[in-house]
Structure 1
């Protein structure tokens, strides 16, 4: 799997290019220090936390990881664990059994393929158990400062509501955003969109009356699951 090209032929929504700088300017004012809300101290902890965050809240992940990382502080320690050893630490996180299996295998893969270190390489991260495109983008951008856009449900929803993309496939949303924004803004953009999706542009009842982007939002008042 390779990175999506910025030269995608898919069609952008009308007015997307004009709205993009307005969206970015508003997000810069609202969330100037936007960053991931996952708590981590090194690339390994970020990778594990991101795998755990699939279909789970960052709050639930952050509540579980301190004890998990005390028991398994690095890939070497976790590689010696069986899934049933990991399960008690993450039991309150959704899909914990499958995630425990992935973490045990992921740690072994890190040891076998990368000497226990999290690779600074998109394809190598994607190839790890439990990881995917979003996980790779989160790790590369937050741990290594690589320009990347991680498209989760918030980023996808806001991209459609704000008329930046008409796509429902996360990979295609990512491609649209990469075309609309400079690479230097990608990391900030996806963090700020996530924060706005959690605080204002809620999935079921967006707080449009409180949104500074209401004047140029083409989907204002439209509810989207």
Structure 2
């Protein structure tokens, strides 16, 4: 559970709301492009994904167009991304399922999204949040690190961190909490040598208080 009281939690998210534009760094122009980009982003940087999708999406930005590329061509386009072989298999299977089972539409429930190959809890939550405006909370490496470092959560797994965060984050912040925590982790509360000295929420943060002590 969190070590922070309600006052500190509200102060932290008030600051995030005032200073962070809650927008994904991934570049996409449709729900399908978003889904593909998020699948590609597993254990990869958004910068790396954007370089790949910059080449991919002008050629193929629908399930059928990706299938029409052919598997080998598709794999060669995304090979700069880590785990590209498994991602290529999953995206090809997902494209077939979207055509055959979902009428080329992206499912709008977690249960249906998770039936798609390559779509786990985190990916489903990202798509539901961004594409469908659901107040879901995807816990990636940044969210996991920042939440447990600050004191918003005290968990060993992303799954448990998600449960804890959903319990303590005020509803008014929940829609954008995922992006607030990701972007804070990407640019301020970085994995190595977090920038505590220039961080405005350090006064509420467990890690910063230990560092100062």
Please indicate the TM-score interval, normalised by the length of the shorter structure.
Answer: over 0.9
Q: Partner of 1:91 in structure 2? A: 79
Cα distance change on mapping 1:158 and 1:77 into 2, 3 Å: same
Check the 8 A contact 1:76/1:111 in 2, yes or no. Answer: yes
Q: Where in structure 2 are the equivalents of 1:141-152 lying within 5 Å? A: 141-152=129-140
Structure 1: give runs of 5+ residues left out of the alignment.
1-11
- TM-score by length of structure 1 reads 0.88
Q: Partner of 2:6 in structure 1? A: 17
* Segments of 4+ moved more than 6 angstroms: none
**2:116 is equivalent to residue 139 of structure 1:** no
**2:205 is equivalent to residue 217 of structure 1:** yes
Residue-by-residue CA offset, 1:199-223 (whole Å, 9 max, x unaligned):
1111011111011011111111779
Check the 8 A contact 1:19/1:164 in 2, yes or no. Answer: no
Residue-by-residue CA offset, 1:132-184 (whole Å, 9 max, x unaligned):
11111111111111111111011011101111110121111111111112344
Give the RMSD, CA atoms, in angstroms. 1.7
CA distance in 2, matches of 1:78, 1:50: 16
More displaced stretch, 65-74 vs 50-59: 65-74
Check the 8 A contact 1:206/1:221 in 2, yes or no. Answer: no
CA distance in 2, matches of 1:207, 1:95: 31
Q: Partner of 1:109 in structure 2? A: 97
CA distance in 2, matches of 1:15, 1:218: 8
1:203 aligned to 185, 188, 191, which one? 191
Residue-by-residue CA offset, 1:58-81 (whole Å, 9 max, x unaligned):
001111112212222201222345
CA distance in 2, matches of 1:205, 1:172: 25
Q: Where in structure 2 are the equivalents of 1:28-177 lying within 5 Å? A: 28-31=17-20, 33-177=21-165
Paired residues, what number?
A: 211
- TM-score by length of structure 2 reads 0.93
Q: Partner of 1:27 in structure 2? A: 16
